[in-house]
Chains A and B, each alone.
Chain A
Amino acid sequence: MDVPILHRMKNEFDHRNLWLQVVLGLLSAGERLERMLNHHAPAHPAEQPDGSPPAPAEAADEVLMAFVLGLVGSKAHLHEVLERAATDGGAPNPEPPDPPPPSHSTFGSFLR
């Protein structure tokens, strides 16, 4: 008998949920990145650790700069998404959707 996957997962918020661990891992890495950037690239140049004025970046630095910016942008986006999800998903859904028809339960069958 096909058992849809959505109705088999009752207590998914524990260490067995690897998606949860991935999200927590990304959050942790993002927090660490922000702390590191706040220390090494402070908001005001005068706050440079050695007190020296910043030197201009070379053209070859651009790709690494874009890479770091990509990490920062992704981290900011992750925060936005999670905050939105926490706000929207905090309340229980009063009317859960009907279970899908058996003909579409390939995924559930595959995992069983």
Chain B
Amino acid sequence: MSDELPTLALQPNDDELSRLLHEAQYLLLKHPVAAQAAFGAFVAEGRRFATTEEGQRWESRLRGSDLIRRGRVVWEVVTLKMLEENPPDVLPTAYLDAMVRATSSAELEPLLAQLFDMGWENGRTDPSSDEK
């Protein structure tokens, strides 16, 4: 009889994986507008990034990878194909730049106070965008 103790091999917990994917699905169904806005913004950001040298390097890395090829199946099931490419007015990095510009503004408080005086016309902050 061997002196070795029996060993127990733990397999990846698929229940946990399913629960996390289900949680992501629930999040999307709970906040569809926010999810669509975030998705559209990042897709547009990706289109812009792909025009840069670094973006093209990344694109060639991603093209053909399982992460994209098989990931699309997972993505479509998790998102129930609800998300569409909807070009936003402002890219995510533009919001980041705006935060940085605001923090370096010498007139920060008047700038922030201005936000309370601005209106929302048809869900937009720029009335001229309605003319486009």
Contact = CB atoms under 8 A, between A and B. Distances in A.
A112 interface: no
A21 interface: no
Contact of B109 (A36, A49, A78, A107): A107
Contacts of A68: 46, 62, 67-68
Interface residues of B, number: 45
Interface in B60-102: 61-69, 71-72, 75, 85, 92-93, 96-97, 100
A84 B101 CA distance: 12
B59 A69 contact: yes
A72 B97 CA distance: 16
Given A54-B64, A108-B109, A72 B58 contact: yes
Contacts of B103: 85
A5 interface: yes
Nearest to A99: B109
B110 interface: yes
A14 B49 CA distance: 34
Interface in B34-74: 39, 41-50, 52, 54-55, 58-59, 61-69, 71-72
B55 to A, nearest CB: 6
B108 interface: yes
A55 B64 CA distance: 5
B76 to A, nearest CB: 9
B93 A55 contact: no
A30 to B, nearest CB: 12
Contact of A57 (B45, B49, B68, B96): B68
B109 A70 contact: no
Nearest to A66: B46
Interface of A: 4-6, 36-37, 40-43, 45, 48-49, 54-58, 60-61, 63-74, 76-78, 81, 84-85, 88, 97, 100, 104-108, 110
6 contacts: A65-B59, A67-B42, A69-B49, A73-B46, A100-B108, A107-B116
Given A60-B72, A73-B52, 10 more contacts: A5-B112, A48-B66, A49-B66, A63-B43, A64-B68, A66-B44, A69-B62, A72-B55, A77-B96, A110-B116
